[in-house]
Amino acid sequence: MDKCATPMTDSRNLEARTASPAEPDEAGPKRKRRVRSSKATRAQILEAALREFAEQGYEGATTASIARRVGVTQPLVHYHFGSKEALWKAACNSIFERLTEHLRQNQADVAAMSSAPELVTQTYHLIDFIVAHPELPRLLVNEGVTKSPRLHWLVETHLRPLFSAWDTALDEAKRAGLIKDIPNAFVLFTFLGACYQLFDLAPLVREVYGFDPRDEQQVQRFANALIEIFLAGISREEGEEDDSA
């Protein structure tokens, strides 16, 4: 729990203070409304936590500031999530569940493709997600700069399966002679950095170049340009010898 956290509030006492007595014939409907309200509050806290952790990092974020974002009391945050670390993990689970669902929904687009077109199509889907959810790359940057138990949890729970799938796609493309034999780590981290930086630095881009990179038309233009630049760098021409190793 962060330093400014208040003592944990017993959930029964908290519910007792927020729930009003009901007549027997009204208890059912009122209880259902309270359950719906509780679920909505939990979802709002989770969204606020995701933004807070992305903007401030784990150490800079507090459950008090998250509560203020939602307009609820700090004890209510702890009632729903227990601790700051548990809330951070719940926020990470939430954003990666959305990413997994986004990729799953678009799986039909790549199911019958060979390696190279699949990589291109997945690039479009990934950029779409990053534009809509800038919290994801910010969370990764915040946690990725320091070795910690949180980073280990993030890798083993969410990142390793993703990177394994991307490694497989790259290895298949290499075996098919479609791309150069550049180490996967070099390819993936260069590519992922390019995917998010233009959008993460949107205020700087607007100041220097005078356009909003998050504009829908600009997103499409950027995705096309990134794919062209990237594939030009890693693709192998027919008969070309690979000297990248």
The CATH class for the domain spanning 11-84 reads mainly alpha
> Do the domains 106-234 and 11-84 match in fold?
no
Report pLDDT for 177: 87
pLDDT at 125: 85
> Has residue 24 got a pLDDT over 50?
no
pLDDT at 4 over 50: no
| C-alpha separations of 209 from 109, 199, 212 in Å | 34, 13, 9
Q: In this predicted model, what pLDDT tens digit does every residue of 84-123 receive, in sequence order?
A: 999 999 999 999 999 999 888 776 655 555 555 666 777 7
Q: pTM here?
A: 0.77
pLDDT tens digit sequence for 112-127: 555 556 667 777 888 8
* Residue in 108, 46, 100, 116 with CA at minimum distance from that of residue 77: 46
Q: Which of 72, 74, 71 is nearest to 61 (CA)?
A: 74
- The CATH code for residues 106-234 is 1.10.357.10
DSSP string, 93-151: HHHHHHHHHHHHHTHHHHTT--HHHHHHHHHHHHHHHHHH-THHHHHHHHHHTS--HHH
Higher-pLDDT residue of 73, 27: 73
Domain positions in the chain are 11-84, 106-234
Burial tier of 226 (Cβ tally within 10 Å: 0-12, 13-18, 19+): middle
